[in-house]
Amino acid sequence: MSEKRKESGLGKDLVGLENVSGETIQAILDTAEPFKEISERAIKKVPVLRGKTIVNLFFEPSTRTRISFEFAEKRLGADTVNVAASGSSVVKGETLVDTARNLEAMRIDMVVIRHGSSGAAQFLADRIPSNVINGGDGQHEHPTQALLDMLTLRDSFGRIEGLKVCIVGDIVHSRVARSNIYGLQKSGAEVAVCGPRSLIPTRIEEMGVQVFTHIEDAIQWADSLNVLRLQLERMNAGFIPSLREYNRVYGVTQERLDKAPREIVVLHPGPMNRGVEIDSTVADGPQSVILSQVTNGVAVRMAVLYLLAGGAPERAEEAKKGEE
């Protein structure tokens, strides 16, 4: 891969949205638009990435993200290999850098990495010449999730600029939160977070983020809520006393949403804990765009793959027709 930045403004890798400009984010979302249609076809395949080899390197269990990437890769015609941590050389004690170099030696083009340690995607990107896409690193970033969230918001509101988006829940352990904060702010939205202080990272205000400790206040403020999954482990580690209490204090319920001054759009990156952070009436109700997020996830990942492979945003429409 050449060092020069591509026409999209992306570099070699997509490690996070922290170092991606607002214009580039816009270009990714614009590129995703024409790719949406591919997944609606009877024959869901175009030859945009024909001949490219992509490794999905998943050190953490993942269903949605891994399948979404795999669909995106396959629908663009790439050859893919999935490597999961269990059953791989990782359990035999191989280091991340050795795993990466061995894959590289097999002449691959791209790696999608999901890893439990913050910084793992950057670590890999710094050490191999292939394109690296961060599929979630520890509590750092999950850029394609934020991009699909933003695409979904754009579908709902027709814009991102000026929106007030509140991310609700376990912010401290959330890579989704960080990527959304960077991406939304660069796109002109206002971002807040809401949750108990025990789940809000120190000095997050310095990132230009408003903090709510009451969900009712967040609902008064926001155009949209992005409700994060509350993991059971957090309760066991003493961050909150119980899931039941969490639902009572922070649960997004229809009753609470009905008090909002405007129709709030509700996102959730999944997988949901129904009755904990979100009630089923909301998840399945008219204000939820949760399944649109999943659909958009494939299109956004296609766009990222296409752009990192050197594609130009304005040629995406032609590319998907198979005109190479």
Binding site for another protein (CB under 8 A): 18, 95-97, 115-120, 122-123, 137-141, 175, 178, 201-204, 206-207
Quote the tokens at residue 226.
Answer: 């992005």
CB of 52 or CB of 234, closer to another protein: 234
CB of 95 or CB of 254, closer to another protein: 95
Bridge partners (DSSP) listed for residue 164: 190
CB of 117 or CB of 156, closer to another protein: 117
Phi/psi at 74 (5° precision)? -70, -35
Q: Is 85 helix (H, G, I), strand (E, B) or coil?
A: coil
Please measure the distance between the N-terminal and C-terminal CA atoms of the chain and give it in whole angstroms.
Answer: 19
Is residue 187 within 8 A of residue 150, CB to CB? The reply is: yes
CB of 205 or CB of 284, closer to another protein: 205
CB of 107 or CB of 203, closer to another protein: 203
| Least Cβ distance, residue 250 to another protein (angstroms) | 20
| Least Cβ distance, residue 206 to another protein (angstroms) | 5
CB of 114 or CB of 115, closer to another protein: 115
Distance CA 180, CA 209 (A): 11
| Least Cβ distance, residue 178 to another protein (angstroms) | 6
| Least Cβ distance, residue 304 to another protein (angstroms) | 20
| Least Cβ distance, residue 229 to another protein (angstroms) | 16
Q: In which region does residue 226 sit, left (phi positive, over 0), alpha (psi from -120 to 50) or beta (all else)?
A: beta
Within 10 angstroms of residue 140's Cβ, the number of other Cβ atoms is 22
| Least Cβ distance, residue 97 to another protein (angstroms) | 6
Spatial strand order of the sheet with 110-115 comes to 79-84, 53-58, 110-115, 131-137
Quote the tokens at residue 176.
Answer: 């989704």
Distance CA 223, CA 165 (A): 6
Residues 165/182/186/251 CA torsion (nearest 10 deg): 0
CB of 237 or CB of 249, closer to another protein: 237
| Least Cβ distance, residue 186 to another protein (angstroms) | 14
Q: Which of 78, 56, 44, 212 is nearest to 135 (CA)?
A: 56
